[in-house]
Every structure is written in C-alpha cells, then in structure tokens.
Amino acid sequence: MRAPLAGCRILIAEDEWFLANDLQTVLKSVGADVVALVGDLDDAQAQVARGEFDLGIIDINLRGRHAFGLADELQRQGRPFIFFTGYGAEIIPARFADVARIEKPFDLHTLSRYVLQLWQRGTETKPESQSS
C-alpha cells in the first residue's frame, strides 16, 4: 500500500527543535518528504522564495518574530499551509481565517489528517506541468 503522503514535499518552519523533529518524524512515517526544516523567519523566507515544496507547516512565532508576512507570501504563491502554534485563534489576522491551525501540543492524527487534506486538495487542482 502506498503511503498517503508519498510525493508530498513539506516545509516545516518551527523554532523549537524537538517539536520540529517530532513533526518531521510523523510526516515521514506517512510518506512525506520534509525538504526543509528551518527555525527562523529569514531561513523560512529563503525556502519559500526557492519554492521547492508543496505545502508548509508554519509556527506563527519564529524566534520572536511573527510569520504572517511569510503566510502572505505562501498565499500569494498559492501554496497551502497550516499554522502550527501555541497561540489562540484570536491572534491570527482575519485574512487567514480559512487556514487550519493546529495547537501545540499537537495530536499526531490531527496533524496527519490536516496535511493529507491539504495535499489531496492541492493535487486535485495542480496543473500537470507542476506535478512531481
């Protein structure tokens, strides 16, 4: 049986190493390819500019800096993403009302389900020329 996220390339922007490592382990266990694991906003922005991933998991606070500009760029590029955060929904600007938010500490099954839903939605609408 094929892993549900086989072929899915993921960017993880998380500044807490143990959480980032846990995310990576969970995602790899369901077939995802974590192509970038970054801990600060500048590195995350560089990865987004390169664009070599299908979806992102973004911590809202990366070493004291909010990642909403990064989220704006992901939306501009049409790349799906999930906020992975300890913050409540009230801190998230209204323009991101449709973005899933997974609270820390996280449930492995919930995370996998959200990522799979985003991946499936993206592959259904992705032009053939962009397929991996």
CATH of the domain at 28: 3.40.50.2300
| Tokens 């913050």 -> residue | 87
Look at 110 and 18; give whichever has higher pLDDT.
Answer: 18
SS3 15: coil
In a domain, 63, yes or no: yes
Asked, for residue 4, whether it belongs to a domain, the answer is no
* Domain assignment present for 51: yes
Residue 28, pLDDT above cutoff 60: yes
What's the domain range around 73?
A: 9-124
pTM: 0.88
For residue 22, tell me if it sits in a domain: yes
Q: Which residue, among 64, 17, 68, 70, has the nearest Cα to 39 in the 3D structure?
A: 17
Tell me, yes or no, whether 130 lies in a domain: no
Q: Which residue has the higher pLDDT, 128 or 102?
A: 102
**Separation CA 16–CA 46 (nearest Å):** 19
Kindly state whether residue 2 falls inside one of the protein's structural domains.
no
Q: What pLDDT does 68 receive?
A: 97
pLDDT (0 to 100) of residue 1:
56
pLDDT-based confidence at residue 123 (cuts at 50, 70, 90): low
**pLDDT score, position 119:** 87
Which pLDDT value is given to residue 13? Answer: 97
Structural domains of the chain, count: 1
111 vs 10, residue with greater confidence: 10
Position 106 in a domain: yes
Q: Is residue 131 part of a domain?
A: no
